[in-house]
Structure 1
């Protein structure tokens, strides 16, 4: 296996281990909510005037798929829609009190997982962080270009 393959396999392995380690706690504390719903709640809380288009672009999903998720979240009482007085066409979302509770549980879990893994990050030098971040940015830009080259559109 060459170094490129080792990097890709290593990243997948890390991701799979994180998911496996975190799964039981997430399932226990966020029972009844899937990952897409929870991350949609997170995005809505952290962004100004989130709408289906912004959500779809962020999650690399179709507007139709995100529309289904937001309808589920509204039905569950986690988010509500609103319109601005100067733009009655566009529909935006915000969290309800129940949605804010789910957001906080998710944030607490992230903090717990971050604390668990802090020992590793304490050993990383600034230069190593810079190298890792540089690689991630380059690879992400490459994948963005490939997506664009293939004419894949998330807007449908």
Structure 2
């Protein structure tokens, strides 16, 4: 890291200019954020969807997430999005913790279905699934 910088466990969405207009909050971790951000911008949804990047899973950054959620108090949809299969990524760890923080809303999962294998060995299928989960994450109901 550069001098004068520090690690941040939770990163806000810098493209959302009016948090009160946000309808949907998408929690994401890792490089998938960049794909979601591009799709969101391409579809003109910067003020309708907020992407909250959680870069430190454990210890759970409860206070930082709470601070982010307070910005989006009018949001009605909450999603955890990951590119790993449901049973392989951080969803099973994060879901109960995030659900406690949004007690009046359901946390939706957007990602690949559970799979016993660690990866899909078919690049075309992987790309198809990746495109679908990115579109699903930024769709508004």
Task: Quickly name the TM-score band, shorter chain normalised.
Answer: under 0.3
Bigger strand fraction? 2
The structure having more radius of gyration, on CA atoms, is 1
State the TM-score, normalized to the length of structure 2.
0.25
State the TM-score, normalized to the length of structure 1.
0.23
